[in-house]
Amino acid sequence: MPRSDKKTKKNQALASERAGTRVGELREAINYHSYRYHALDDPEIADAEYDALNNELIEIEAAHPDLVTPDSPTQRIGAPPSDQFAPVKHRTPMMSLDNCFSLEELKAWGQRAERLISKVDAYMTELKMDGIAVNLVYQDGVFTRGATRGDGRTGEDITANLKTINAVPLRLRGDDVPDVVEVRGEVYMRTDDFDNLNERLGNAGLKTFSNPRNAAAGSLRQKDPSVTAERKLSLVCHGVGYVKGRRFKSHSEALAFVRELGLRTNSENKVVNDLDDVFERCTHWQEHRHDVVYEIDGVVVKVDSIAQQEELGFTSKAPRWAIAYKFPPEERTTILNAIFASVGRSGVVTPFASLETVFVGGVNITTATLHNADEVARKDVRPKDTVVVRRAGDVIPEVVGPVLSKRPKGARRWKMPKNCPSCGAELVRNEGESATRCLNIYECPAQQRERVFHFASRGGMDIEGLGYKTIIMLLDKGWVTDVSDIYFLTPELFEGLEGWKSKSIDNLMKSIDESRTRPLASFLTALGIPHVGFSAAEVLAEEVGSLDKLESMTEEDFEAVEGIGPVIAQSLSS
């Protein structure tokens, strides 16, 4: 071998050795600073310095692919999009908790526990974060699998998406990490990140999320992990499922161990001595629930001692040693400016209250459903009334009723219009029904718009890029009058339109094309057939198997399918 070749190989080996050393240094530094930032909320360096370390690691690994390992910080994003989430069985079940809705119920739970074990040593109180429960598994310190809670025994594999969350360490900290660690936590979205996400979606003409929990759930179930990575999810750990070779004396000790491994727990967790302290914590957080940057809907109370937990045991559904105290819905008063009627995709006309903006349950409320004409009459709410507004279930805004002492003179009762506010057709209300309908199914603009939007939504054919603003534009131009027209759209139609670049056009065409392969259940749901939700659609898809067979079935055939009742059967056959 020529001397020059030997020298070249020697230099390459030396460069590779130096790269390997530097990669190790960079990973250690990045993991340390990520831990300081995400687990401790106590960063030591600026974001720009952290980004510089990360970029240097990316460059070295690109030049030396053999140095890339699964636990490298660069591997948070990179898994290919998934068509489905495989089922995963949890090593230990993820039990749900019983709920209580008053301090009296909480007291009764505590007294039952103390009757069984004489006296509870201490209670752990934790904020009940409104997120998505997940299970993380680490083997030899490396994050190997993450799954949703599912039914408590079997969840869905979302490992690739969880890897994109910076608060999920890809490698645990410490020199003596157990061989297997199973940790339970909650994935959530901060309220400021939620507001920013909805602003971006709205500006892009896409459907926004109704609350941070739905945003977190939708982001975790993205088929493309790069989309999840853009959503800024967070994680907090609240329990341990299994740790090989390790037993804990208390729940608080287990959480301290989790923190030592580099995982984040909630800094507001607190161990208290007795039920009076528990009540004080619940009352405090009920009054100060908006003092934190994430949504909470209660306080979880647990017997802290593991020995006492084991003594108390479980019911068939939940542990006896824990309970979730749920906050009552928040109520505020505001002015009802007007009542207007809105037409849905099935032609049902629903009255809505247009409200003076009011902050309830962590969000600004400007409209609330009044359900139907009978409800408006029963509650006797009138335009210009001062009304009580509640965020029912902390999700759906609801008008509870009027403050009669503040009713202005001359306030007149509201009546359902006789004609459709969208197309002008005469409205119909069948005897025995509470719903008022527009029967101009195919020509009513509001029904057309809502049908197309439902068809393209995440709950239907999941056509990314076909949001509300785009659908309105397509209807206005006459390019789409029914859902089938979506599949005749061409790139040329969008060229030259304001806000449409070649990339966004290509992405929309790709998403439309991909929707052709959606499961039959998704297609049936997307059609918006009255009374046919996703559960009924799944039953039909599994039983029938094909659209051709479905189209040939009679009402009697549908009713013969287990799980399909006469109402759904009639709806499918009409």
- Asked if residue 47 is part of any domain, the answer here is yes
* End residue of a domain, out of 45, 76, 107: 76
The H or E element that residue 427 is part of is strand 427-428
- Asked if residue 20 is part of any domain, the answer here is yes
Q: Please give the residue range of the domain that contains residue 500.
A: 445-573
What's the CATH code of the domain at 429?
2.40.50.140
Amino acid at the residue 237: C
What's the CATH code of the domain at 58?
1.10.287.610
- Asked if residue 84 is part of any domain, the answer here is no
Are 148 and 219 members of one domain?
Answer: yes
Are 359 and 423 members of one domain?
Answer: yes
State pTM to two decimals.
0.64
* End residue of a domain, out of 258, 293, 326: 326
Amino acid at the residue 392: A
The residues near 133 (Cβ < 8 Å, ≥ 6 apart) are: 94, 148, 149, 184, 185, 186
The residues near 84 (Cβ < 8 Å, ≥ 6 apart) are: none
Are 311 and 235 members of one domain?
Answer: yes
Are 311 and 336 members of one domain?
Answer: no
> Phi and psi for 237 in degrees, rounded to 5?
-95, 140
Are 26 and 45 members of one domain?
Answer: yes
What's the CATH code of the domain at 288?
3.30.470.30
Q: Pick the catalytic residue: 9, 128, 469, 501?
A: 128
Residue carrying the six token digits 């909320």: 41
- Asked if residue 308 is part of any domain, the answer here is yes
Helices then strands, counting H and E runs in the chain, come out as: 20, 18
Are 124 and 257 members of one domain?
Answer: yes
- Asked if residue 528 is part of any domain, the answer here is yes
Are 430 and 380 members of one domain?
Answer: yes
- Asked if residue 94 is part of any domain, the answer here is no
In the chain, how many domains are there?
4
* End residue of a domain, out of 415, 437, 459: 437
What's the CATH code of the domain at 487?
1.10.150.20
From first to last of its 574 residues, what are the pLDDT tens digits of the chain?
Answer: 555 555 455 555 556 778 788 888 888 888 777 777 655 656 777 766 776 787 788 888 877 888 888 778 777 655 454 556 788 899 988 988 999 999 999 999 999 999 999 899 999 999 999 899 999 999 999 999 999 988 888 888 999 999 999 999 999 998 889 999 999 999 999 999 999 999 888 887 777 887 888 899 989 988 889 889 999 999 999 999 999 999 999 999 999 999 999 999 999 999 999 999 999 999 999 999 989 999 999 999 999 999 999 999 998 778 999 999 999 888 899 999 999 999 999 899 999 999 999 988 767 899 998 999 999 999 999 999 999 998 765 567 889 999 999 999 999 999 999 999 999 999 999 988 899 999 998 899 999 999 999 999 888 898 988 988 899 999 999 999 989 999 999 999 999 888 898 988 999 999 999 999 998 989 998 998 888 888 888 888 888 888 888 888 888 888 888 888 888 888 888 7
Alpha-carbon gap, residue 280 to 286, rounded angstroms: 10
Are 365 and 346 members of one domain?
Answer: yes
- Asked if residue 89 is part of any domain, the answer here is no
Alpha-carbon gap, residue 349 to 192, rounded angstroms: 34
Alpha-carbon gap, residue 234 to 187, rounded angstroms: 6
Alpha-carbon gap, residue 271 to 273, rounded angstroms: 7
Are 386 and 454 members of one domain?
Answer: no
Are 125 and 205 members of one domain?
Answer: yes
Are 237 and 312 members of one domain?
Answer: yes
End-to-end CA distance of the chain: 84
Are 48 and 197 members of one domain?
Answer: no
**418 noted as active-site residue:** no
- Asked if residue 346 is part of any domain, the answer here is yes
